[in-house]
Amino acid sequence: MSDYFSNIRKWCDEALRAIKEFLKETSKRNNQKELEKFQEKLITFRDDLNEKQNNLTEKEVYDKAVEIYDEFYKRFSNVSVEDENSNMNIGRSVPIGGHKLPPLPYAYNALEPYIDEETMRLHHDKHHKSYVDGLNKAEMELQRARQTNNFDLVKHWERELAFNGAGHYLHTIFWSVMSPKGGGQPQGRLLQAINHSFGSFDRFKKQFSEAANKVEGGGWTILVWSPRSGRLEILQAEKHQNLSQWDVIPLLALDVWEHAYYLKYKNNRKKYIDNWWNLVNWPEVDKRFNEAQKVRWVPY
Ligand code: MN
């Protein structure tokens, strides 16, 4: 079997595994039938790759793979939450230390000539994988710290959590926001929002490119939605973390800049933190949590 065919078959296997786990975790889904139908389609395609490979051209396989890939992501990003108050969302969570490398959503050579096959293999299989491993390790170590109540290394593992978590989440976004059929301009509401936020698509593109070109050292340029300002914004993420994971929504924040406590507590930050717990407005945190739960991505 050609490398190309076997890569696509591997992707089918990964996608099938993801669907199977998904169906297992959410047995009450109302679109279960549709998902099972899609699952069958995927199985047929995979089996064709095995059995009829000599009769299939790369073009045929490519076209079908793109169609299936599109459907896969459409289905999983449109997943609606049936009951906000059930613990279903928890059921869909990634277990602690259980992140997985998502399969590349197209063949390794599918983005050529713009990005070459060798880069994609190295980038996805080695670099992204190492973020996944590092994130799992950090989560396990922090779990151990909670269990043993030993937080001596909390700073180190928080750093690792941010560095590897940002790496994992941003790469997962990166693969999915590229497509062999990509390019052109957005349409509809996204285009309207871009025009509203940046003046025009060309101005957005210019700022995004300039910001990307001027990231110091390693990093990212990221188009973000700000629920607070109700606008899109372009941000640079130097070294991609600075102790955040990016694809997350803040729920509870404690300001530990000196200006927040110095007049009263001087250098006793610990006392300020201990006392601060008397002030936490949990209903508001709960409200933010419930709003945030409406955003759902495919778990990896
Ligand atoms: Mn990278």
* Alpha carbon of 66 to ligand 1 centroid (Å): 23
Calculate how far, in angstroms, residue 246's C-alpha sits from the geometric centre of ligand 1: 15
pLDDT at 195: 95
Contact by Cβ (8 Å): 202, 176: no
Give the pLDDT confidence of 160-214 residue by residue, as tens digits.
999 999 999 989 989 989 999 899 999 998 999 999 999 999 999 999 999 888 8
Together in a domain, 124 and 192? no
CA-CA distance, 101 to 124, in Å (whole number)? 8
Give domain status of residue 233, yes or no.
yes
Is the overall model pTM greater than 0.85, yes or no? no
Looking at the DSSP assignment, which residues form a beta bridge with residue 220? 237
- Which of residues 164, 181, 198 is at a domain's end? 181
Ligand 1 centre from 108 Cα, in Å? 15
> Of 174, 157, 160, 101, which Cα lies nearest the Cα of 132?
101
* Statement to judge: residues 139 and 190 lie in one domain: no
Q: Can you tell me whether residue 234 is helix, strand or coil?
A: strand
Residue 141 Cα to ligand 1 midpoint, Å, equals: 24
CA angle 63-65-66, nearest 5°?
65
- CATH at residue 212: 3.55.40.20
**Number of structural domains the chain divides into:** 4
C-alpha 70/C-alpha 255 separation (Å) is 42
Query: CA 140 to CA 128: how far, in whole Å?
Result: 19
Average pLDDT, the chain: 84
The set of residues, in sequence order, having a beta carbon less than 8 Å from that of 174 and lying 6+ positions away, is none
Please indicate, yes or no, if residue 104 is contained in any of the structural domains: no
Task: Please tell me the distance between residue 26's alpha carbon and the centre of ligand 1 in angstroms.
Answer: 32
Sign (positive or negative) of CA dihedral 106, 112, 114, 116: positive
The three-state secondary structure class of 7 is: helix
pLDDT band at 82 (very low <50, low <70, confident <90, very high): very low
Q: Are residues 83 and 28 both part of a single domain?
A: yes
| 135 CA from centroid of ligand 1 (Å) | 15
The range of the structural domain enclosing residue 255 comes to: 249-300
How far apart are alpha carbons 10 and 49 in whole angstroms?
10
| 169 and 237, same domain (yes or no) | no
Integer-rounded Cα radius of gyration of the chain? 22
Last residue of a domain, one of 133, 160, 181: 181
- Centre of ligand 1 to C-alpha 129, Å, is 10
Same domain, 56 and 69: yes
Report whether 246 contacts 162 (CB < 8 A).
no
In angstroms, what is the span from residue 169 Cα to ligand 1's centroid?
11
Distance in Å, CA 174 to ligand 1 centroid: 9
Q: How far apart are CA 264 and CA 299, in angstroms?
A: 44
Reading the block at residue 231, the tokens are 């606008």
- CA of 99 from ligand 1 middle (Å) equals 17
Which letter does DSSP use for residue 125 in this model?
I
70 CA from centroid of ligand 1 (Å): 23
What share of the chain has pLDDT > 90, as a percent? 34
